[in-house]
Structure 1
Amino acid sequence: MSEQNNQKPHLLKKFLIALGILLLLLLAFTGFNYYFKYYGPNVTDNQEYLYIHTGSNFNDVLKTIENEGIVKDTTSFMQVAYSMKYENRVKPGKYRLYKGMGNKKFIRMLFLGEQEPVDLAFHSSSRLRLKSQFAGYVAKKIEPDSASLLALLDSTSYLTKYGFTPDNVYTMFLPNTYKMFWNTSAEKFFNRMNEEYQKFWTPERKEKAKAAGLTPIQVSILASIVDAEALHDDEMPTIAGLYLNRLNRGMKLEADPTIIFALQDFTIRRVLNKYLTFNSPYNTYLNVGLPPGPIMMPSVNAVNAVLNYKKHNYIYMCAKEDFSGYHNFATNMADHLVNARKFQQALNQRNIKR
């Protein structure tokens, strides 16, 4: 009888030990499961960025993550997202992904909208002569498509509030590198560019423009021609002075790059006489004064060259026959014809016909 009584506490002790071990295992499993679900590596390296478009909801985000294989375990991602109440806090943007990132860190980044800004860099370039080219380029960097950007570039009513027209709005965009978020709307993009434009046109620059007899917009239009003519920045002030001399004398600018722009044929290397009669407001061989808008995005150097133009008596110029990119300048037609003949002969020798 006493033996049976002694076995009962012994069995109870074994049971309690076994139960304790089981509880520890369950706690360990729960802890491991929690850790793995929240902190374990889940983000893959299948994509460099997650793009969440404006207006997206949680289901849209989840679908993108599934379709692009952004996480290894979609179920755990979804469970953690719900536990963190992310489903009602979706923020659009461009989010950088890091291989091995855990669900909690990943969702926290999305929850707080900690997106990576983009570098929107555009510079004076023949590749962005047209507004359509510019809209297409910008659309590759931020969320709005090229059609929505181009619609604003061509909207007279929209551009009026900024003081521009569809013809001259290109002067508002100053070549530089700008940081902004990928989900910046087309309207906010324009606002930002106008803010940068206003910062650039300081009272000092405006005063210089006025002294040259130009508005800031006219300075940029002339600068676009100067930029198209000049291969070397150190020659820009001289070229700017030449065109200002012609404007002040009421002479036509007769700038070859405006002919190329009017024809929209940027393969032309030699402007022939037959091109000079092409009917266009951008044809400065037919029309007196500046064209209605820029023929390319002018560089800041070109704008400053117009503001700080070199004073001289030149009214003619022609590219040097050595193809150095520099020009021969002249104060009279006789000297200009000599310079032009030398360059034409050099073109013929190189068999450049157009």
Structure 2
Amino acid sequence: MYRKLLRFLLAFSIIALISAYFIYRSVAGPEILAEGAETVYVEIPHGTSFEALTRILLAKKLIPNEAVFRSLAKKLNYEADPVRSGRFAVEPGMKLPDFIYRLRNGKQAPVMVVLTTERELTDVAAKVARFIEPDAQAFIQLFQKEDFLDSLGYTKENLMSLFIPNSYELYWDTSPRDFIRRMIEEHDIFWKRKDRYIRANQLELSQADVYTLASIVEKETLQNDEKKRMAGVYYNRLKIGMKLQADPTAVFASRDFNTNRVTNYHLQVDSPYNTYKYKGLPPGPIAMASIASIDAVLNHEQHDYLYFCAKGDGSGYHTFAKNLEAHKRNAEIYRENRRKRGK
């Protein structure tokens, strides 16, 4: 009798251990993703219910057993409606309980939002929307909200000067307002770095003015090593009250962004952005200005040049002149170079 009891207890223990092992394997393992696989990211929109999340995970094949997932989620107090939004990483070798803890605690995987030299606010909206949850329209609506912009000290015309081209680490579920707040922080850091705001004051220009002038330089030349000289020309014109007569502003005013050449049509467009028509800076930037262009304005070359003309030799560089007579000679050289190149 005693031996039978021992055999029964031994058999029961073995069965219990095997059962526990399989329960462990179904709950804590196997891994959601096998070792060596690529990390998978799960994007959970605002307002997602637990049921909707379960469908998302099933569609991505990240739940090895739906019943086990539901049971474990309940035990780990992860059944809230809605669940936390965000972008979450599933690394190779991750166990289901660890993934549920990550979802519950809201530990997101950030995204890199890359801003380059976008032309208009709608382009900024479209670019940002490629990286985070809100769509482009949500950003455009905020960019046009005058009372909100006024509270920040911006207008629709100069809001572009807030954005500094760079790569920014953000969370996928960042709201448009939070995005703007982050850009304000980055903007302030940028202008404090290298005492840029001090240099702007020395030039008797606001930060927005520097940015606007930089946006013109940005569209005038692709050669960073001549941007300081180019900026010096425009600064000289500003100081003596001469019209900037910047071709890129005429293009912006006409909205003819696909043109290859500026014609009399562009120069005659009646718009405050057309610096052939109106003195001083336009109401705001004509594009997002690169850091190189901003620094070129702040540290522009000091010279007596008032004119410049493309060389026309395909180099992308310009020839500078101090007076109109020299500029006309440079313009003739430009035309001759183009003729030689069959342009």
Q: Report the TM-score, using the length of structure 1 for normalisation.
A: 0.89
Give the counterpart letter for 1:112 in structure 2: N
**SS of equivalent residue, structure 1 residue 201:** helix
Pick aligned residue for 1:81 from 59, 73, 79 = 73
Please report how far the alpha carbon of residue 348 of structure 1 lies from its aligned counterpart in structure 2 after TM superposition: 4.5
1:297 deviates by 0.8
Q: Tell me the distance in 2 between the aligned counterparts of 1:172 and 1:75.
A: 50
- Between 234-243 and 83-92, the greater mean CA deviation after superposition: 83-92
Structure 1 residues 1-354: aligned runs within 5 Å: 12-44=1-33, 48-88=40-80, 90-123=83-116, 125=117, 128-202=118-192, 204-350=195-341, 352=343
- Per-residue deviation at 1:210? 2.2
Q: Which amino acid aligns with 2:102?
A: M
Aligned residue type for 2:166:
N
> Hey, what's the Cα distance between the residues in 1 that align with 2:184 and 2:275?
29
1:99 CA drift (Å): 4.1
Query: Displacement, 1:219?
Result: 0.4
Report percent identity of matched pairs: 36
Distance in 2 of aligned mates of 1:211 and 1:68? 57
Change (3 A) 1:158 1:322: same
In the alignment, is the contact (CA less than 8 A) between 2:38 and 2:91 conserved in 1?
A: no
Residues 161-182 of structure 1: per-residue CA shift (max 9 Å, x gap): 2111011101101111111111
Correspondence for 1:4: none
2-side partners of 1:63 and 1:275: how far apart?
55
RMSD: 2.0
Instruction: Kindly indicate whether the alpha-carbon contact (under 8 Å) linking 2:26 and 2:65 is maintained by their aligned counterparts in 1.
Output: no
Rounded Cα–Cα distance in structure 1 between residues aligned with 2:315 and 2:299: 24
Give the gaps of 5 or more residues in structure 1. 1-11
TM-superposed CA distance for 1:311, in Å, is 1.2
Output the amino acid matched with 2:9: G
Q: Could you tell which deviates more after superposition, 47-56 or 150-159?
A: 47-56
Please, which moves more after superposition, 195-204 or 224-233? 195-204
User: CA–CA distance in 2 between the matches of 1:245 and 1:51?
Assistant: 52
CA distance 1:34–1:72, shift in 2 (3 Å): closer
Unpaired runs of 5+ residues, structure 2, are none
CA distance in 2, matches of 1:114, 1:222: 42
Secondary structure of the residue aligned to 2:42 is: strand
Residue 135 of structure 1 aligns to which amino acid in structure 2?
A
Taking the aligned partners of 2:337 and 2:30, their CA distance within structure 1 comes to: 67
Alpha-carbon deviations, 1:284-325, whole Å to 9, x = none? 111111111111111112111111111111111111122212
Aligned length: 338
How far did 1:82 drift? 0.9
| Structure 2 letter corresponding to 1:266 | F
Partner Cα distance (2:4, 2:266) in 1: 102
Amino acid at match of 1:275: H
Using structure 2 for the length normalisation, give the TM-score. 0.92
Moved more, 65-74 or 176-185: 65-74
Can you list the C-alpha shifts for 1:111-154, whole angstroms capped at 9, x where unaligned?
A: 2212111111212x3xx211111101101111111111111112
Cα contact 1:46–1:70 (8 A) shared by 2: no
SS of residue paired to 2:88 = strand
